[in-house]
Amino acid sequence: MPTITLDIERCARQLQSGELVAMPTETVYGLAADARNSDAVAKVFQLKGRPGSNPLIVHLADASQAADWVSEISPEAQMLMDAFWPGPLTLVLPAREDVLRSVTAGQDSVALRVPAHPGARALLQAFGGGLVAPSANRYMSISPTSAAHVAQQFADSELLILDGGACQVGLESSIVALLPGDSPRLLRHGMLDQQRLQQVLGQQLENQAGGLRAPGQHRRHYAPGTLASTFIEVPNAALDAPDCGWIWCGQAQPTRGPAVDLSADPERYAAGLYAALYQLDALQLRHLYIALPPQGAAWAAVHERLQRATTQ
């Protein structure tokens, strides 16, 4: 069974020996491994059940380490690093030739992030290099935002988990690609919204074009085992069903089944979404109904996750 610990030095030694550690970040918990060790990286794919065609994000302790991983840092990339690192932003940049292609899924680009979580930063500093750290869950299932979620996902393993408390952001990072010969592109929405990114860049971000440059792009992802669907008009017939669960965005209605109101504040909603999915998914309900939040830039990341989580 997994071991939950607060011992950062123990976790660093585990990583240095080529083994895995689940680490907290401000977004979600990641399944960390030495990004320079091909055997360690292979263990991440194996434990998650993740296809090798899906690239990984390399986590760094400091932006100054980016030059060890990328062949070129454009002025646009430097502006975003200066404005948002450490923080919930991943940049996809041209990779150096010595970067493992198992990390980049065979591509000539690499995804980098400097997390803001103090536990993640302390572990990265103690480790002394870059760590791949995709979400610490089975492939396509709900991302974990607590050490207990990770332990539940990998209950049959001996995974070492660094406990950093509940994740404050709660959704995966925004991902921006800045590659030679292409326009800046937003590959994944996060709580660092598109408008803020564009203000710093001074130009528009294009939407993702073909090619899997970033993780989290499978049409079904972040998904509970329970059949789940979103709604705008309340399905009134289900309100009295004890085997139906509910996630509300403010304006909750009385229900016989279990319900969680995540509020109409986008940051509070995002921070609590995955925990609510874990809570309700554990109850073996017949159906999970999720009220769609409002539209708008502040809610874009939430809408993206809900669409993937409710795709059958």
**54 among annotated binding-site residues:** yes
Say whether 196 counts as a known binding-site residue. no
Residue 10, annotated as binding a ligand: no
Distance CA 101, CA 97 (A): 9
188 annotated as ligand-binding: yes
Strand pairing category for 174-177 and 131-132: unpaired
Asked whether residue 143 is marked as a ligand-binding residue, the answer is yes
Q: SS in 3 state form for the chain? A: CCEEECCHHHHHHHHHCCCCEEECCCCCCEEEEECCCHHHHHHHHHHHCCCCCCCCEEECCCHHHHHHCECCCCHHHHHHHHHHCCCCEEEEEEECCCCCCCCCCCCCEEEEECCCCHHHHHHHHHHCCCEECCECCCCCECCCCCHHHHHHHCCCCCCEEECCCCCCCCCCCEEEECCCCCCCEEEECCCCCHHHHHHHHCCCCEECCCCCCCCCCCCCCCECCCCEEEECCCCHHHCCCCCEEEEECCCCCCCCCCEEECCCCHHHHHHHHHHHHHHHHCCCCCEEEEECCCCCHHHHHHHHHHHHHCCC
Binding residue per annotation — 13? no
Contact 13, 128 (CB under 8 A): no
Does residue 173 have a known ligand-binding role?
yes
Q: Which two tokens stand for residue 128?
A: 């002394």
Q: 135: annotated binding-site residue? A: yes
174 is in an annotated binding site: no
The answer to whether 50 is a known ligand-binding residue is yes
Pairing of strands 287-291, 30-34: unpaired
Output the known binding site for L-threonine. Answer: 27, 113, 133, 173
Output the known binding site for ATP. Answer: 50, 54, 59, 135, 143, 188, 222
Output the known binding site. Answer: 27, 50, 54, 59, 113, 133, 135, 143, 173, 188, 222
